Structure 1
Amino acid sequence: MKLNESTAVTTTRALLVPYESRHVPTYHQWMEDPAIQAATASERLTLEEEYENQQSWRVSHDKLTFIICQPLSPSSSSSPSSSTVQAGEVDIPEKMIGDINLFLYPNDEEDAPEDECVGEVDIMIASAEHRGKGLGRAVVGGFLQYISRNLEGILREYYEGGSKQNGGNNGGKGGETVKMKMLMAKINKDNVKSIKLFKALGFEQEGEVNYFGEVKLVLRDLEGYARGNVPEGYQEVVYQREE
C-alpha cells in the first residue's frame, strides 16, 4: 500500500518502517532459509524477483507491509521522542528483525454483504536471536494499533485500488468504500507459540483445523482492543529519506 510509504511506527519494543528496496538483500537472505520458507509457505525466489515483489507490494491496494527493526535508541539522532526517523540509519541490515503484513480480501462467507472485507495478519521474526522474548506479541500489538488508527485510509485505498482493477466498478460493490468485518490469522496447528501469541492479543479460534492443517483465529472488535491496549511509547512518525 502507498498509505504507509512515508510512515514509521515506533514503540519501546520495536520500530516498524515501510518496506524499501534497501531492505531487499537482507529480506532475500532471510527467505533463503528453508525453515523460514516452510513457516511462511513461501517459494524460493531470486534476488531480482524479490526486488520485483517489493515494488509490487508498495503499490498493492490489498497488502500493507512493514519491516520490523530494533527499537530506537535514546542516544541516536532518531530518538524515540523525535517526529522523524532517518531511512538508512534506523533500518540498516544489522537492525532488521523481520516483517509484518496485512492482507485484505473480500469476505467470502455465505450471505456476506458485498461491501465487506476481511483482513489477515501475519508476522515473521526472521532473526533467531529475537525469538522467544515476547517481541512478536509486542510487534503485532503495535501493528493492530496502527491498523485501528488508520483503518479509514486503509479501506479507502483498498476500495479505490480494487475499483481501478475492475474498470471503475470495484467488482460490483456499491457505496464509496468497504467495511472490514474482522481480522484473522491462519496458523499451522503445530505452531503453538504463534497460536498462543494471537490468543493473548484477544484473537479467538473459529472452527476446527482446516484441510491445510491451519487454525483460524479471529479478532472482531479491533477498535475495542486498540482502545484498551496502546503499546508503551507508541508513536507514528515520518520516515525521512535522503533528498
Structure 2
Amino acid sequence: MLINKFTTIKGQRVILVPYRKEHVPKYHNWMQSKELQLLTASEPLTLDQEYEMQVSWQQDCDKCTFIILHRETYESTGNEIDSMIGDTNLFFPNSEDRSCAEAEIMIAERWARRKKCGWDATLLMLLYGVLYLDVKEYQVKIAFGNIPSINMFQNIGFSELSRSEVFKEVTFSKMIDDDWIKWLSDNVGNFEIQNKEFET
C-alpha cells in the first residue's frame, strides 16, 4: 500500500518495515516451506512471481504489508535481511471503505517463535491500522491446526465469528472501541513511527 511505502514502526522487540525488493529472495525462500504454506493457506510462487507480488502489494489500495525485523538483531548488525523473521499485513476486502480489515501475521523463522515477536508485531500493526488507516473492525482467518495463532488472537480480544469446514479455518473478529484502543496502546508500550524514503 502506498500509504506505508516509507513507514517504519519500531516496537519493543520488532521493527516493521515496508516490503521492498531486497526482501523478496528471503521471503521467497520462506514460502517454499510446506509448513508455512499450510499455515498461511498459500501456494508457492516462482521468484519472478514473488517480485511481481511485491510490486503489486506496494501499489495496491487493498493491502498494507510490513516485513518484521528482529530489533535486537538489526540493531547489532544493521542488516535488514539477516534480521527478517516474518511479515504482517492488513487486507481490505473493500478498498473504497477501509473500516474493516483482515489481519495476517507470520513468524517464519523458527528461532524467533515463542519470544513474543509475533505478539508485538501484531499489536503494532493493529494499532497502526486504528490510528492511521481508520480501521473500525478486524477479522482474522486461521487454520484449524494453528493453535498458537488462535490462542494469541483470543488473548488479544478477538471472538470466533464462523468456521469453514471446506477451508478448514476459523474466522475471528474484533470490533474496535476506546477501551480496546487503550488496551492496545498499553500493551504496545513505547513505539516510534518514522517515515523515510528508501530506494525502490
- Please give the TM-score of this superposition, normalised by the length of structure 1: 0.74
Q: Please name the residue that 1:232 is paired with.
A: 189
For residue 125 of structure 1, what is the aligned residue in structure 2?
A: 107
Tell me how far 1:33 sits from its aligned partner.
Answer: 1.2
Deviation at 1:207, TM superposition (A): 3.3
Query: Equivalent residue of 1:3, what SS?
Result: helix
What pairs up with 1:129-208 in 2 under 5 angstroms? 129-152=111-134, 181-208=136-163
1:6 corresponding residue in structure 2:
6
Q: Per-residue deviation at 1:118?
A: 2.4
Which secondary structure does the structure 1 equivalent of 2:3 belong to?
coil
Q: Distance in 2 between matches of 1:133 and 1:140?
A: 13
Which of 87, 92, 96 is equivalent to 1:104?
92
1:21-40 alignment runs, 5 A limit:
21-40=21-40
SS of alignment partner, residue 162 of structure 2: coil
Cα deviation, residue 222, structure 1: 5.4
- Cα distance per residue 1:2-48 (max 9 Å; x no partner): 00011100011100000000100110110111211121111111111
Tell me whether 134-143 or 17-26 shows the greater mean CA deviation: 134-143
Structure 2 CA distance for aligned equivalents of residues 118 and 144 of structure 1 = 12
Question: Contact conserved, 1:7 with 1:17, CA < 8 A, in 2?
Answer: yes
Using a 3 Å threshold, how does the CA distance of structure 1 residues 3 and 75 change in structure 2: closer, same or farther? closer
Q: Which has the higher helix share?
A: 2
Does the CA-based 8 Å contact 2:141-2:172 persist in structure 1? yes
Q: What's the CA shift for 1:117?
A: 5.1
The range that moved more, 200-209 or 58-67, is 200-209
CA positional deviation for 1:116 = 7.5
Supply the distance in 1 between the matched residues of 2:143 and 2:121 (Cα, whole angstroms). 20
Q: Does 1:64 align with 2:21?
A: no
Identical-residue share of aligned pairs (%): 35
1:68-79 matches, within 5 Å, as 68-71=68-71
Alignment CA distance shift 1:8-1:212 (3 Å): same
**d(CA) in 2 for partners of 1:25, 1:74:** 18
Q: Evaluate the alpha carbon distance shift between residue 136 and residue 116 of structure 1 in structure 2; reply closer, same or farther with a 3 A threshold.
A: closer
In 2, are the aligned partners of 1:5 and 1:58 still within 8 Å (CA)?
A: yes
Distance in structure 1 (CA, Å) of the matches to 2:32 and 2:182: 39
Q: Structure 1 residues 120, 60: closer, same or farther in 2, change over 3 A?
A: same
Q: Deviations over 1:112-143 (max 9, x none)?
A: xx968521001110001011222211111111
Are 2:167 and 1:212 equivalent residues in the alignment? yes
CA contact (8 A) 2:12 2:120 kept: no
Please say if residues 189 and 209 of structure 1, whose CA atoms lie closer than 8 Å, have aligned partners that are also in contact: no
Check conservation: 1:6, 1:239, Cα contact below 8 A: yes
Does the 8 A contact of 2:103 with 2:140 survive in 1?
A: yes
Report the secondary structure of 2:23's partner residue.
helix
The gaps in structure 2 that reach 5 residues or longer are none
RMSD: 2.5
| Alpha-carbon distance in structure 2 between the residues aligned to 1:95 and 1:74 | 5
How many pairs were matched up? Answer: 198
